[in-house]
Amino acid sequence: MWTDIDRIIASNQTFVITSHIHPDGDAIGTELALCEFLRARGKDATIINTSPTPVIYRFLDPGGMMRAPASQEDLPRITAADAILIVDINDWKRLGMIGDTVRTSPAAKAVIDHHPYQDTIVPTTVIDVKASSTAELMYDLITSLGGPLTRPAANGLYTGILTDTGSFRFGNTTPTAHTITARLLEAGVQPAAIYDFVYNQNSEARLRLMGRVLSDMTIAYRGQVAWIVVTQQLFKETGALPEDTSSLVDATLTIAGVEIGLIFVETAEGTIRVSLRSRGRQDVNKIAGALGGGGHRAASGAVLPGPLDDAIRRVTGAIEATMNAE
Ligand code: 5GP
Ligand code: MN
């Protein structure tokens, strides 16, 4: 499985590692583990991301090795790299500001991901949709190529598996995910400390925002669909940040009978980010796909033009059509 990537690693010296905009724990944990691995092998490796690193994941990078958010000064490094390794994403567009530079760089390129896609963007692609996370694949890569698996790398991989499995509760929580997690604990990962870094760092503003959006939640379609909305106005009133909206949508699915939960977030540019979550019976990847987005069966997303009311009508209309078609 790793032969081609092994060859790229062995035959090159300078590497750029990147992942999607709005990186999650899997993207960042995987990037840091790969960077540690390459550096331990004497390679010159740099992580460059379009988006800033969310505060809750900065503990993974105490040395500040990630270049995020990327600036114009980072672009020549992408053009000059021997190889670019793209993780947790297989889509030029979702690389954000650096996407065009990555695409046109003469560097050797490889993609490692666990999301389903129709097409590959580079010839060297390892996509395993059965993997819980890209971190799980990265564990396999690092150990298959003989390591080393350093403590910081293990922390990154654990964070990736922890967050992509929803703390070991989603359908992707497999025996493999647990087996790898056990190996990561043996490598020194401290689960309580990581949980505290990732999940117990709410700002007061985020909790105020949560309270406001939940009290204004809409429930429709015989109680099967619930959605919450974050406007720019609400960001201003609560002092919360866009990254504070991540995982707020999960609360909608805790309601008995709700099959699909949604959050609509109005961005500063006026576009609307929608995140869709399914209890399992409905495939929200199909719904997001029809709206120009993507993701997985149980968790997907898309970006729609504003205004907010139009976006809500479009998405909930698509959901109603899916549910009626059954
Ligand atoms: P979230 O709602 O947490 O941003 O994303 C949930 C899942 O949907 C993730 O697996 C993410 O990769 C995918 N996703 C979110 N937004 C988009 C989008 O605009 N386009 C595509 N293709 N996938 C998305
Ligand atoms: Mn992932």
- Over residues 254-282, the pLDDT tens digits come to 999 999 999 999 999 999 999 999 998 99
Ligand nearest to the CA of 129: 2
pLDDT in tens, 201-223: 999 999 999 999 999 999 999 99
Cβ–ligand 1 distance for 285 under 6 Å, the answer no
Q: Which atom of ligand 1 is nearest to the CA of 88?
A: 12
The mean of the pLDDT values for the chain is 96
Ligand 1 centroid distance, CA of 179 (Å): 27
Nearest CA to ligand 1 atom 10: 295
- Cβ contacts of residue 17 below 8 Å, gap of 6+? 31, 34, 35, 38, 45, 46, 47, 48, 84, 85, 87
Cβ–ligand 1 distance for 301 under 6 Å, the answer yes
pLDDT above 80: residue 325:
no
**What confidence category does residue 118 fall into, taking pLDDT thresholds of 50, 70 and 90?**
confident
Ligand 2 centroid distance, CA of 130 (Å): 11
How confident is the model at residue 225, as a pLDDT?
Answer: 97
| CB atoms inside a 10 Å sphere around CB 10 | 10
Ligand 1 centroid distance, CA of 43 (Å): 32
204-324: which CATH architecture? Answer: Roll (3.10)
**What confidence category does residue 64 fall into, taking pLDDT thresholds of 50, 70 and 90?**
confident
Please compute the mean of the pLDDT values over residues 219-238 and round it to a whole number: 97
Mutation choice for ligand 1 from 300, 303, 304, 315, CB with most ligand atoms inside 8 A = 300
pLDDT in tens, 132-187: 999 999 999 999 999 999 999 999 999 999 999 999 998 899 999 999 999 999 99
How confident is the model at residue 252, as a pLDDT?
Answer: 97
**What confidence category does residue 65 fall into, taking pLDDT thresholds of 50, 70 and 90?**
confident
Ligand nearest to the CA of 135: 2
Question: Global pTM?
Answer: 0.81
Please compute the mean of the pLDDT values over residues 64-82 and round it to a whole number: 96
Ligand nearest to the CA of 242: 1
How confident is the model at residue 171, as a pLDDT?
Answer: 87
Task: Kindly list the domain boundaries of the chain, sorted by start residue.
Answer: 3-199, 204-324
Cβ–ligand 1 distance for 23 under 6 Å, the answer no
Q: Do domains 3-199 and 204-324 have the same CATH topology?
A: no
Ligand 2 centroid distance, CA of 23 (Å): 9
How confident is the model at residue 35, as a pLDDT?
Answer: 98
pLDDT above 70: residue 326:
no
CATH topology of domain 3-199: inorganic pyrophosphatase (n-terminal core) (3.90.1640)
